[in-house]
Amino acid sequence: LKHDTPAVACSASLSPLRSVRGTLLGSNCRARRVFSPPRVVDARTRVAQRCRAVSTYPTPQAHVSSMTAEQYPCWEFLDCGGDVPQSRSGHTCALHKNRYLYIFGGFDGSNCFDDLYVLDLDTRQWRKIEAVGERPAGRASHSAVTDELAGVMYIFGGSGSHFGYTNKRDLCEFCFETESWRLLSNPLEDTPSARYGQSMVAYQEGLFVWGGTHGTNYPTDMHRFDLCSKQWEYVVTSGDLPCGRYRHQ
């Protein structure tokens, strides 16, 4: 099996800019839940009419660019300071409170990172977070989504540095307020198979996972993690099933 390395973050093409923030009604678990859309498109994060791209590969310093709808497709380089993350690809970028960008994981060509950084978009300062709790192992090509009402970020799957051999299937939760990690499901439970490059979205009281690759094949099964019961379940679908794929986030 040939080792598979994550695509370079800055190579992805940009789609038209638009406002992306949804409000969803919850079940009896919570009266109301507000989810941010998945922020996993090779660390490109859209904020209302503004697009911010975080590129940390292959240059030695992290670059953040800002682009407004009026200026499209012109880019502005944002000069950021603080604890700048190392060069990497395959990391995730999650937006919190329309101000903070959280970078987790990634791959530098040899190793996968397990570190977590946050960028304050107002002050343009990076900070490395010394989180406590059950920190996820280093990985790349994983999935991330935020829950703004609960104030947490979810991380699922991905792979270690030997793609196809070190795939992950754990689901972890990061609390923004306490800066702590918590393991929600482990590989010994009935979870989706270990994979990387999958997509994950939040809808009502669940996290839906689809696609990705094991390294040799591309599963098309759909799974849902119930945020109330903290249990995984297989989702039976109908209609025209998409063909298997990965990095489609």
Residue 55, in any domain of the structure: yes
Return the bridge partners of 45, or none. 52
Q: Which residues contact 243 (CB under 8 A, 6 or more apart)?
A: 218, 220
Closest alpha carbon to 161 in 213, 89, 61? 89
Q: How many CB atoms lie within 10 A of CB 16?
A: 8
Asked whether residue 7 carries a pLDDT value surpassing 70, the answer given is no
Q: Which domain holds residue 141?
A: 20-180
Residue 84, in any domain of the structure: yes
pTM (predicted TM-score): 0.73
Q: Which residues contact 239 (CB under 8 A, 6 or more apart)?
A: none
The per-residue pLDDT for range 121-157, each reduced to its tens digit, is: 999 999 999 999 999 999 999 999 999 999 999 999 9
Q: H/E element holding 184?
A: strand 180-185
Burial 36-55 (b: 16+ CB within 10 A, else e): bbbbbbbbbbbbeebbbbbb
Give residue 147's pLDDT.
Answer: 94
Q: For the chain, how many structural domains are there in total? A: 1
Q: Which residues contact 219 (CB under 8 A, 6 or more apart)?
A: 192, 193, 195, 211, 212, 213, 244
What is the rounded distance in angstroms from the CA atom of residue 80 to the CA atom of residue 234?
43
Give residue 157's pLDDT.
Answer: 94
Amino acid at 15: S
What is the rounded distance in angstroms from the CA atom of residue 225 to the CA atom of residue 208?
7
Residue 58, in any domain of the structure: yes
Give residue 247's pLDDT.
Answer: 82
Amino acid at 18: R
How many CA atoms within 13 Å lie on the side-chain side of 43?
34
**How big is the CA angle at 204 (ends 221 and 225), to the nearest 5 degrees?**
40
Residue 33, in any domain of the structure: yes
Q: Answer for the pair 166, 140: CB distance below 8 angstroms, yes or no.
A: no
Residue 194, in any domain of the structure: no
Distance of CA 210 to the CA centre of its chain: 14
When the pLDDT of each residue in the chain is averaged and rounded to a whole number, the result is 79
Residue 75, in any domain of the structure: yes
3-state secondary structure of 193: coil
Residue 93, in any domain of the structure: yes
Maximum distance among all alpha carbons in the chain? 50
Q: Where are the beta strands (DSSP E) in 63-177?
A: 63-68, 76-78, 81-82, 92-96, 100-104, 116-120, 125-128, 132-133, 143-147, 152-156, 171-175
The per-residue pLDDT for range 55-105, each reduced to its tens digit, is: 555 554 556 666 665 656 777 788 999 999 999 999 999 999 999 999 999
What is the rounded distance in angstroms from the CA atom of residue 153 to the CA atom of residue 35?
10
- Which CATH number covers residue 156? 2.120.10.80
Asked whether residue 34 carries a pLDDT value surpassing 60, the answer given is no
Residue 113, in any domain of the structure: yes
